[in-house]
Amino acid sequence: MMKAVTALLALALATPALQAQATGALEGSVRSAQADVPLSYAVVSIPALSLERFSDPQGRFTLSALRTGTYDIVVRRIGYTPYRGRVQIDSGVTAKLLVTLQQIPVRLAATTVRALANCPRPGVPDARTDPEVAALVGLLRENADRYRLLASQYPFIYLQIRAIGDLGERDMFVSRVDTLLVKSGTRTIYAPGRVVSRVPESQGVSGYTMIIPTLVDLADDLFTRNHCYAYGGTVNEDEETWIRLDVRAADRLKSPDVHGSFYLDSATAELRRMSLTLSRPDRLPRQLNRVVGVDVVTTFLAIADGLSVIDKVCAVNRLRLPPRQVVAVTPAELQQLLVYEFTDPPPDVRKRGARLPPNDWQSGARLERKAVWCADP
């Protein structure tokens, strides 16, 4: 009896050692096929293991402690055709992989600028009949997916200063200034046609709030399935050419959602600006019957090659004038990034970045109208 127990114990002690030996690793690098330069922050993933990693600033990556076997591997980088291949992981061996990605040429010369007056058939356009717009939607979602991975692989917090007030014909009267501390993984779940909701009484504030879809929501199939897409032309901004991708909420959504435009840098395919407006304001709750529109514009700050965080937000509520009121005064809100700090920063990113708050953002101050940069001139 003692011999059987001893043998069983010996087997149990040997099992972890055997398991430890049954793993290998994968090392590789990602480069541009055209320029033969390393591609930083390419997303390397093994879907079967739910594993994702960024390549480093030199385009290198290491995946350790992989169970032995054959795996499909995907390597993606904004503006490049994804690589899909297979790798063999053997026990105690480090496999090598060199990936070269082909840059996607965005051919828009023959693409027609089309206004999105309605959206009867939402979803990603068919790549066979509308390849350019389908490619732009893919680039937008790649931006969103990259931000999601940044927030999960390199968690950070950021502090924004916020100025809230009333916008008149000449200036904005600031009624309140405060700060918002946000964790990078914080998000609200997008629900089609449910972007306006009542604030819970437990928060001590009565009223309604508009839940703007976050950048991460754009990579979600739920958002894509409920919006139509169209090419909106190009604009020149900050010595760059931006490609405009318009979106419109599906006609079947009878309650408020969002329409909008997304601006991608034509050279890098990185998202520069997100401009959203409330759809179906006529279906707002009765308590909000003066609201005829809500516009929110978000810009992004590049903290490394291919990595961006939210920089500024500008929002304006457009109201219906009461009888006999001649001058329009509308609620407005400005937000600006003050500080961001990583728990464990990416290799070539500072752990902490900071800027001074605007001097004129003070309660009781009056800002020039141009400070509300998302409002009509």
The pLDDT tens digits for 256-280 are 999 999 999 988 889 999 999 999 9
Among 84, 101, 118, give the residue marking a domain's end.
101
Q: Which of 113-117, 121-125, 152-156, 346-350 has the lowest mean pLDDT?
A: 113-117
Show the domain range for 199: 131-371
Query: Token match 């390393």: residue?
Result: 38
**Percentages helix, strand, coil for the chain, rounded to the nearest 5?**
20, 45, 40
Average confidence score pLDDT of the chain: 88
96 and 152: one domain?
no
User: Could you tell me which of 126, 132, 98 has the C-alpha nearest to residue 114?
Assistant: 132
Residue 261's DSSP bridge partners are 246, 275
One domain for residues 82 and 152:
no
Sheet strands side by side (includes 23-32) = 60-67, 23-32, 94-101
Quick one: 343 and 204 in the same domain?
Answer: yes
Mean pLDDT of 74-97: 95
Output the pLDDT for position 1. Answer: 45
- Other beta carbons within 10 Å of 180: 12
182 & 331 share domain: yes
Which amino acid is located at 1 in the chain? M
Do 210 and 317 fall within a single domain?
Answer: yes
Give domain status of residue 17, yes or no.
no
Instruction: Confirm if 132 and 125 have CB atoms less than 8 A apart.
Output: no
* One domain for residues 87 and 217: no
The CB-based long-range contact list for 55-62 (8 Å cut-off, 24+ gap) reads: 55/29, 55/30, 56/347, 56/348, 57/304, 57/305, 57/347, 57/348, 58/29, 59/29, 59/30, 59/31, 60/27, 60/28, 60/29, 61/27, 61/28, 61/29, 61/30, 62/25, 62/26, 62/27
Residue 4 domain-assigned (yes or no): no
In-domain check, residue 3: no
- The verdict on 196 and 263 lying in the same domain is yes
285 and 172 both lie in a single domain? yes
306 in a domain, yes or no?
yes
13 in any annotated domain? no
Of 101, 122, 151, the last residue of a domain is 101
Average pLDDT over residues 96-112: 78
pLDDT at 213: 85
- 51 within 8 A of 29, measured Cβ to Cβ: no
Identify whether residues 45 and 159 lie together within a single domain.
no
Residue that is last in its domain, among 101, 123, 152: 101
- Judge if 143 and 248 occupy the same domain: yes
Three-state secondary structure call for residue 85: strand
Number of domain units in the chain: 2
Closest to 215 in 3D by CA, of 182, 174, 177: 182
44 plus 185 within the same structural domain = no
Residue 83 belongs to some domain of the structure: yes
Q: pLDDT tens digits, residue range 10-65?
A: 444 444 544 445 899 999 999 999 999 999 999 999 999 999 999 999 999 999 99
Task: Give the pairing type, strands 352-354 and 330-342.
Answer: antiparallel
Quickly state the pLDDT bin for 112 (edges 50, 70, 90): low
Q: Is residue 107 part of a domain?
A: no
Residue 230 lies in a domain: yes
pLDDT for residue 106: 63
Q: Say if residue 173 is in the same domain as residue 288.
A: yes
Give the CA radius of gyration of the chain: 25
